[in-house]
Structure 1
Amino acid sequence: MKYAILPVTPFQQNCSFLKCDTTDKVAIVDPGGDLDKILEALKQVGGTPEKILVTHAHLDHVGAVAELAEQLSLPIEGPHRDDQFWIDMLPQQAQMMGFAPSRPFTPNRWLEDGDSVTVGDTVFEVRHCPGHTPGHVVFYQPQAKLVVVGDVLFNGSIGRTDFPKGDFDTLIQAIQDKLLTLDDEVAFIPGHGPMSTIGHERANNPFVSGKHG
């Protein structure tokens, strides 16, 4: 499996492209905005766009979902249905943050913990990781040792929990149960900033290493 990362929106959110080696099918994860840049990056990535995957429904992750799905006739998978209220609030989110207008969308498939999503022949495990938002999911590919974590975990930090229905303790529990159970060498694509590995965060991230305080 190949992947590429494109920072979009003023928040520099990592929109990522996951490409199956055997079929050249491509999933676009969290197309948050800057649709022209996303379409240009898709040309560079090559292959056939197959679907849109969504980790959670904050504007900078989903602002261009409805438009991209419509333009390329792609199905939308994710997030967990507990993020429905964030999707419903997309027009207000865009207005409040000074973003281009953004339309709500209805996923073709809501995702649950333990589900699988496919990109061509490549299978990802879905893990529900609430706390940043209640419906946040991550996508883990065991053979590639890669997990797309959205705003759950960052290089040296974790997602904010001061948004509506965010919860710090819930987020820490999700990280412990769903991410720190992975091998040290598993790399992750966060929603913002540089990539890291589970092992690096386990050893160095003050929020999850036990080194804070």
Structure 2
Amino acid sequence: MSLKYRVIPVTPFEQNCTLLWCTETNKAAVVDPGGDLDRIRAAIQAEGVVLEKILLTHAHIDHAGGTAALANSEGVAIEGPHKEDDFWIQGLPMQSQMFGFPAPEVFTPDRWLEDNDRVTVGQETLEVIHCPGHTPGHVVFFHRASKLAQVGDVLFNGSIGRTDFPKGDHATLIHSIREKLFPLGDDVRFICGHGPMSTFGQERATNPFVSDHRG
């Protein structure tokens, strides 16, 4: 398979930062560098890949707190999330105070992402799916060739994202999962923002919040 990944838990929230890379080119992207940049850099070095960009699913601090520092130190671009999450980026310093994180830099992504956009990692292409609900600008990255999705905090193994933050909305989140993610296929594996991986089929069958057995 020409796209490989390594999950790197970071921050006290054990957020699943992910290193994705194209085996043909050895070019890599870091998805959601929330913090612990030494740990992320060690993984990049261990895999022998070259970082070319940062991808963001959304702008909560455990996902985006290390973004500016990593982009500046490595000289790479930031792609994502959707512009509806700009208020979360602007609020990163306040988030850091609320949750006891190191003070982060505010940044502007080099590219805001929209539904149906494409992003590349080396020669590999990921589809961008706008999935609001947890945050209004949350996006999911889907690699169709390997049936792998990076879903951030939209969906978890056995649970769903919180919707009690500003501009979160439960009904919108359920719609995003059922109408945008589940149709991608039961056999799609996903890396979520926290906890173990799962498949859309498993969640359709067993997830108490969004399974087919609910109304």
Task: Tell me by how many angstroms 1:211 deviates.
Answer: 3.6
Alignment of 1:199-210 (within 5 A): 199-210=201-212
Query: Secondary structure at 2:205's aligned position in 1?
Result: helix
Give the match for residue 84 of structure 1: 86
Give the match for residue 149 of structure 1: 151
Q: Structure 2 residue aligned with 1:173, among 167, 172, 175?
A: 175
Which consecutive segments of 4 or more residues in structure 1 shift more than 6 A? none
Give the match for residue 63 of structure 2: 61
Measure, in 2, the Cα distance between the counterparts of 1:76 and 1:118: 12
Task: In structure 2, give the amino acid aligned to 1:97.
Answer: F
- With the length of structure 2 as denominator, give the TM-score of the two structures: 0.97
Give the match for residue 121 of structure 2: 119
- With the length of structure 1 as denominator, give the TM-score of the two structures: 0.98
Gaps of 5+ in 1: none
Q: Structure 2 residue aligned with 1:19, among 18, 21, 30?
A: 21
Measure, in 1, the Cα distance between the counterparts of 2:45 and 2:180: 33
Q: Deviations over 1:104-129 (max 9, x none)?
A: 11000000000000000000000000
Percent identity over the alignment? Answer: 62
Task: In structure 1, give the amino acid aligned to 2:202.
Answer: H
Q: How many corresponding residue pairs?
A: 213
Q: Deviations over 1:46-100 (max 9, x none)?
A: 2110100000000000000000000000100000000000000001100111111
Query: Secondary structure at 1:19's aligned position in 2?
Result: strand
**Root-mean-square deviation (Å):** 0.9
Give the match for residue 106 of structure 2: 104
Task: Tell me by how many angstroms 1:212 deviates.
Answer: 5.2
Gaps of 5+ in 2: none
Q: Does 1:186 align with 2:164?
A: no
